[in-house]
Amino acid sequence: MRKTIPFFLFLLLVTACDNKLYDIEDGLNGEMTLFEEEISVPLGNTGPFTLELAMQDKMIKTLLGDAINTEDDGTILCRLEEPLFKMSAYEIIAKTKDLSKPFSYPVDNKSYAPSTIANLLQTFGFATVDQKLNIFVNNPLSTTYTLGGSLRVACQNTKTFTWAYDQSFPLADITVKSSSSDTRLLSLEIPDTVQCTPSTVELKDWCFNLPANMDKELKSFSRTEFIFTSRFSCHIAAGKNAEIPLALFGMSKQTFKFNLPIASYKLKEVEVSFVLENTLPLQATLADIQLMTGKETLKMDENLLVTPGTIVIKGGSTETPGITPITLNIKALEGSIPDISGLFVDLAIKSDPDFSETRLSLKQGVSVRSASATLRGGITFGGNE
């Protein structure tokens, strides 16, 4: 038996030298393929990507400024405060011949738009609800004065250019107490049926009834203006015809960067399946989906085919999320799939008709659930060394 083992070992070595399978002149072939049919592996969940994260974007902050606030429950509240009209007491003094007696000073009609940003949202089809408008006036004098006139509030639909609300409020002999900073002239709640913001607040037929020796009644040199101030607030809802014109901001053609390092596995085909959970009352359409490769400069890879070419993501709410199952099939037309570094899509966003009255909240967003990948054609490792 001891003589037999070395003999068979000798035959094995001689045979190996003649068989090209074991030829090591070009290096060892360490290539190995597993799961030649297919294998499914679970992927981690992602998200949520919320409106709160989007609001941290510098461009959005610059556009909206301090106008967007939130309630305790995360509901978005648009709050705007701005002066409607200012008049210097010195202008009145300069135009009045006799200051020794009480006198009346009329003011030309003034018209203003107190809700510019909210009007911009309305232009995109979003609805405004719980609208509240308050008008105040101050007193830079150390004594009281009275004023009279009327306020007209009108809401115009900026898409159809029709008046949805138009009402005048006569105000007579309102007493403005001495040293007061904000005497309320009007407190108005606009019905939700209007669904567009005030485009006009008009001060009509105003007349200041001022005391004698007004020039001596000014409290200080730093506070010498009569100021009408508007305070407007509303909640934002998706609206029935909400549509974000991404092309206007150069955002319709979007590249989403990520890193999927799969080139080393030499895959022919990958099927990625996941469930998208959307609590935004907006539906998104991803069209013309193309994969991108490259590290420094992303470029579309025409060798990679991704199907389907268009995906519609359903909208929802925090109580009833929109659920969209998605399956992406990635296939290399020739060779194997390289590392994928991005996704290029033609993106469109509009209101989901089933959730058109849902109010926007910072907690709303998109999450990826139940993600898995099915790898077909085997996973190949290694190569010549």
Confidence of residue 13 (pLDDT cuts 50, 70, 90): very low
Q: Which amino acid is at 110?
A: K
Provide the pLDDT for residue 43: 57
Which domains does the chain show, CATH number per domain? 28-52+243-355+362-381 (2.60.120), 66-237 (2.60.120)
Neighbours of 169 (CB within 10 A): 14
pLDDT, tens only, 236-278: 888 787 887 777 667 788 887 777 777 777 778 888 888 889 9
The per-residue b/e assignment along 10-39, b for 16 or more CB within 10 angstroms, e otherwise, is eeeeeeeeeeeeeeeeeeeeeeeeeeeeee
Give the DSSP H/E element, type plus range, for residue 306: strand 304-307
| Residue 198 pLDDT > 60 | yes
pTM surpassing 0.85?
no
Lowest mean pLDDT among 26-40, 226-240, 253-267: 26-40
Listed in sequence order, the residues at least 6 apart from 93 whose beta carbon sits closer than 8 Å to its beta carbon are 99, 214, 215
Task: Considering only residues 318 and 62, tell me which one the structure prediction assigns the higher pLDDT.
Answer: 318
pLDDT value for 34: 43
pLDDT at position 40, please?
A: 58
Residues facing residue 132 across a β-bridge: 189, 233
- Mean model confidence pLDDT for the chain: 79
**End-to-end alpha carbon distance in the chain:** 38
